[in-house]
Structure 1
Amino acid sequence: MNTVVQGPKFIVAKGEGVWLWDDSGDRYLDGTASLWYCNVGHGRREIADAVYRQMTQLEAYTVYGDFANVPALQLSERLAAHAPVADPRIILTCGGGESIETAAKLARRYFAAQGRPERVHLISRTGGYHGLHGIGTGIIGMDRFRDGFGPLVEDASVVPHDSAAALEAEILRVGPEKVAAFFAEPVIGAGGVYPPTPEYFASVAEICRRHGVLFIVDSVICGFARMGNWFGIERFGVCPDMIVFAKGVSSGYLPLGGVVAAGAIAEPFWDRPGNPFHHGTTYAGHPACSAAAMANLDILEREDLFTVALEVETYLDAAMRTLEDHPLVREVRSGTGVMAAVELTEEALVDRGIRTADVFAEARARGVILRAVPRALLVSPPLVITWEQIEHLVATLRAALDAVAAR
């Protein structure tokens, strides 16, 4: 907030494809698809038209109880058809944070309905980002997002993101009879773009199954073609108990998220009378948002952005790795999904006092928008980016690094 008060605001006025324009008419390459979500690019008229048509029929109405609407039902059927979850059921929300709250509450309520109310402990990973609602903040794997808010989720713990053995050790420490769920992103996104090892998810899925812990995949960033498939986790050949989704489901054109829950998780509420899941939000299942998502999924499938994303992933990886020789760069992480991180060296960050925000500012001044986290610059462009635009992005990032190093 203080930063905003101190200087002029950056006002985004227009978007088209991978490009943005500010209120002065200057153009910028959107190297982060806004906040990881604009998968099909900006300015897709058919999504706007779909929303307009829906709003002329029914703009919004609650889906509590037995109320429903056609777009929400169509979207749910479509998502269920592609979800790598056994007998999938869909709960729609307004975004990723709401979806994490929903999944965590459903996990705990599921065990209570099974006569095991003591199973409430939630485990997540270092670097894992799960939104900034109450439960999401409580299980986030980055201390800076929890500091100063007091206790939010007391029965929670964090394990190293790259160790299946550490997960099992934590389950045994807490006691399997007390653990409800384990949360993991297919690729850690906002925490710094950390892909898993090839065997990691097979191992954690087996550990969760063996101890009766629900395996919940947070696909908010990784879903809807960013990893070349529908939910990201398919890449690792495992079948989770729940998947949390948002962002790319509508490419951010309207707020939408949700949870895919296995039929076994739904059973106590779905098949038993008098056992409701007391949870919901005002705008969940919003018909206009669902219509936007349906039009967005039409684009993903018609333009086969699933295949395109795999090609973009390869080209982006090759281009980003040309920065590995820069004196400010410690490591480039890329090659699993259309996302990458450029981490700065300890010498740059500590000895020279260089901030990633400095590199971000230099890049933006040169017409490319990146995302700065404490140790790295993150890239996650729209999936429609071209090779020439990738080269422009990387060249601009190098120029920004050069400028900061010289200064």
Structure 2
Amino acid sequence: MLKDVTLAQELVELDKKHFMHPTSSIAQQQEHGPSFIFTEGKGVFLTDISGKKVIDGMSSLWNVNIGHGNKELAQVAYDQMAKLAFNSCFSTLSNEPAIRLAAKIASLAPGDLNAVFFTSGGSESNDTAFKLARHYWILKGQPNRQKIISRQKSYHGVAMGATSATGLKPFRDFTNSLAPDFYYVDGSSIEALRQAIELEGPETIAAFITEPVQGAGGVNIAPEGYLQGVRSICDEYGILMITDEVITGFGRTGTFFGIEHYGIVPDMMSFAKGVTSGYSQLGGVVLSDKMHQDFIQLSKDTLLHGYTYSGHPTACAVALKNIEIIERDNLVENSKNMGAEMLKGFQYLQEKHSIVGDVRALGLMGGIQLVKDKETGEGFEKILSPKIVSEAAKRGLIIRAVTFDQDTLVFAPPLIISKEEIAQMIEILDETLTAVEQELAKGSLSL
């Protein structure tokens, strides 16, 4: 035990001195060290260096869809690494896993989405979609089509183009060198999109990008008819429609891709995260047949875009096995069914707790709004969700707070989660909310 404590102390100090954490408070890290140092994962559970076991209510970062500790994926990665760990796919070089995966994704994607460009992750995927959209219009003789429109409260990543498209202003305020020609519209109003297009001029707009369900913006489910209306407007003005399936893809919402709920097909679809369940770094963009054929006919020079790890054979082999497991184990259906159970649990909490406002879920992607007054929807003067997240973690549940112009808890447990594990998650939330409400009533809550 003493050895474990000594190791933990050593790692904490090394973490504080050398490891800059992504999307984290530097001040918090320096004062307290890492909140958890995880050493093992199994199913929906993570275990830290002290032996504490917690439910991973976020699939780590919306991405460990098949759960932790899957030995089939570990074996596939080992086998591929031993055979061909990596080769470049520049200059038309290729490998079998990349070819097979491109074909598999094309077979799963809706409509005529059939050609795949591989990246290493979601930010790169959305940057790629923007670059391909602009290059497409150059090839089509319309180089002035370069503006990208997205929705307020959207999140598309942290690369320069992806950040520029993100509708959450704090991410854009982080840096002062954003890419030009990115615009943001009310994410619930078709008319707002039309007005923006008319104001900027349709002949200047390359693409509109949207998440089927906004993730980091608070799990905001699109209003009825909204995405169908967007598709119609994009068709009317000749604008490319991009759907960002980085979070919503590979079963997360109870369909293989989130856009399937709405019966429409985009011109491009970005993906990452769940394609490998986080066991390897991979992302990509799927293009429609029409766009691909136009590229084939019009592109006479080298396509000057690509990443070192585009088509990485090990990552692609892992993705193929991951998709096989999702299909074999009926995890898309389980996401749908367990998502319904999770929503029932949220509704139970909503009835029981005065601070629980709106609750929502689509598949295993859910949100709980925290309010001071249910009747008016008034929030607390100081954001409450980080406190809930901290208290839930102490009780054995990892979830996430969204605090951008709201006070929301978000959830995305692994698609393998069982009814019993959902119940355990709701029980921890119930205990956490009760404890926080008691502190609020006493006036002793420290935020």
- 1:2 maps to a residue whose letter is A
Of the three residues 188, 196, 201, the one matched with 2:227 is 201
* Alignment partner of 1:191 out of 217, 220, 237: 217
What is the deviation of 1:295?
0.8
Corresponding residue SS for 1:57: helix
1:320 has 2:320 as partner: no
In our comparison, the structure showing a higher alpha carbon Rg is: 2
Aligned amino acid, residue 237 of structure 2? H
Q: TM-score normalised to the size of structure 2?
A: 0.88
CA distance in 2 between partners of 1:349 and 1:389 (Å): 32
- 3-state DSSP class of the match of 1:265? helix
Q: Tell me, in whole angstroms, the C-alpha distance in 1 between the residues paired with 2:64 and 2:287.
A: 25
Does 39-48 or 313-322 show the bigger shift?
Answer: 313-322
Q: Give the alignment partner of residue 360 of structure 1, picking from 380, 389, 404.
A: 389
Rounded Cα–Cα distance in structure 1 between residues aligned with 2:380 and 2:323: 47
Correspondences of 1:206-245 after superposition (within 5 Å) = 206-245=232-271
What are the residue-to-residue correspondences of 1:6-405 with 2, within 5 Å?
Answer: 6-9=31-34, 10-86=36-112, 88-272=114-298, 274-325=300-351, 326-334=353-361, 336-345=362-371, 351=380, 353-374=382-403, 375-405=407-437
Question: Shift of residue 331 of structure 1?
Answer: 1.4
**1:1-39 per-position Cα deviation (integer Å, ceiling 9, x unaligned):** 111111032101100000000001110000010000011
Percent identity over paired residues: 38
Deviation at 1:316? 1.1
Deviation at 1:406, TM superposition (A): 2.2
Compared CA separation, residues 234 and 4, structure 1 to 2 (3 A) = same
- Partners in 2 of 1:151 and 1:171 — Cα distance? 24
CA 1:397–1:120: 2 relative to 1, 3 Å: same
Contact 1:269 1:276 in 2 (8 A): no
Deviation readout 1:256-276 (Å, 9 max, x if unpaired):
100001122223432345233
Shift of 1:351: 4.6
Q: Provide the aligned length of Structure 1 versus Structure 2.
A: 406
Whole-angstrom CA distance in 1 between matches of 2:206 and 2:38: 42
3-state SS of the aligned residue for 1:385? coil
What SS is found at the alignment partner of 1:306?
helix
| Amino acid in the other structure paired with 2:365 | M
- What are the superposed Cα offsets for residues 283-316 of structure 1, whole Å, 9 maximum, x if unpaired? 1110000011011011001111121111112111
* CA pair 7-204 structure 1, distance change in 2 beyond 3 A: same
- Give a deviation string over 1:137-186, Cα, whole Å, max 9, x none: 10101111111411412211111111112111111111100011000111
Runs of 4+, deviation exceeding 4 Å: 346-352
Q: Distance in 1 between matches of 2:217 and 2:298?
A: 40
1:368 alignment partner AA:
L
The answer to whether the 8 A contact 2:113-2:286 is kept is no
Q: Comparing 66-75 with 273-282, which one deviates more in the overlay?
A: 273-282
Unaligned runs of 5+ in 1: none
Give, in whole Å, the separation in 2 of the partners of 1:263 and 1:223.
Answer: 20
Offset from partner CA, 1:338-371 (integer Å, 9 cap, x none): 1111111156986552431111010000000001
Contact 2:139 2:298 in 1 (8 A): no
Partner SS state of residue 305, structure 2: coil
SS of corresponding position for 2:241: strand
State the alpha-carbon separation in 2 of the partners of residues 358 and 370 from structure 1.
11
| Alpha-carbon distance in 2 for matches of 1:78, 1:294 | 8
User: Which structure is higher in RCO with an 8 Å CA cutoff and minimum separation 6?
Assistant: 1
1:158 to 1:406, Cα distance in 2 relative to 1, 3 A: same
Q: CA separation in 2, counterparts of 1:329 and 1:211?
A: 42
Secondary structure of 1:332 counterpart: strand
**Distance of 1:87 and 1:143 partners within structure 2:** 31
Residue by residue over 1:99-154, the C-alpha shift from the partner in whole angstroms, topping out at 9 and shown as x without a partner, is 00000000011001111110001000111110111011101011111114114122
Give yes or no for contact 1:85–1:261 (8 Å, CA) kept in 2: no
Report the Cα offset of residue 384 of structure 1.
0.8
The 1:188–1:114 alpha-carbon spacing in structure 2 relative to 1, beyond 3 Å, is: same
Q: Whole-Å Cα distance in 2 between the matches of residues 300 and 11 of structure 1?
A: 28
The amino acid across from 1:116 in the alignment is: Q
Aligned-residue RMSD, C-alpha: 1.5
Secondary structure at 1:74's aligned position in 2?
A: helix
Shift of 1:67: 0.4
- Give me the whole-angstrom Cα distance separating, in 2, the residues matched to 1:152 and 1:241: 25
Give the secondary-structure state (helix, strand or coil) at the position aligned to 2:173. coil
Which amino acid letter does the alignment assign opposite residue 305 of structure 1? L
Equivalent pair of 1:138/1:151 in contact (CA under 8 Å): no
Decide whether the 8 Å contact of 1:120 with 1:180 is kept in 2.
yes
2:121·2:281 contact (CA, 8 Å) conserved in 1?
yes
- Stretches of structure 2 that go unaligned for 5 or more consecutive residues are 1-25, 440-447
Distance in 1 between residues matched to 2:54 and 2:421, nearest whole Å: 11
Structure 1 residue 197, shift from structure 2 partner: 2.3
Q: Indicate if the aligned counterparts of 1:106 and 1:277 stay in contact, CA closer than 8 A.
A: no
Q: Is the 8 A contact 1:85 1:241 kept in 2?
A: no
Letter in 2 for 1:372: A
Instruction: Give the deviation of 1:399 after TM superposition.
Output: 1.7
Q: Which amino acid aligns with 1:133?
A: A
3-state secondary structure, aligned to 2:409 = strand
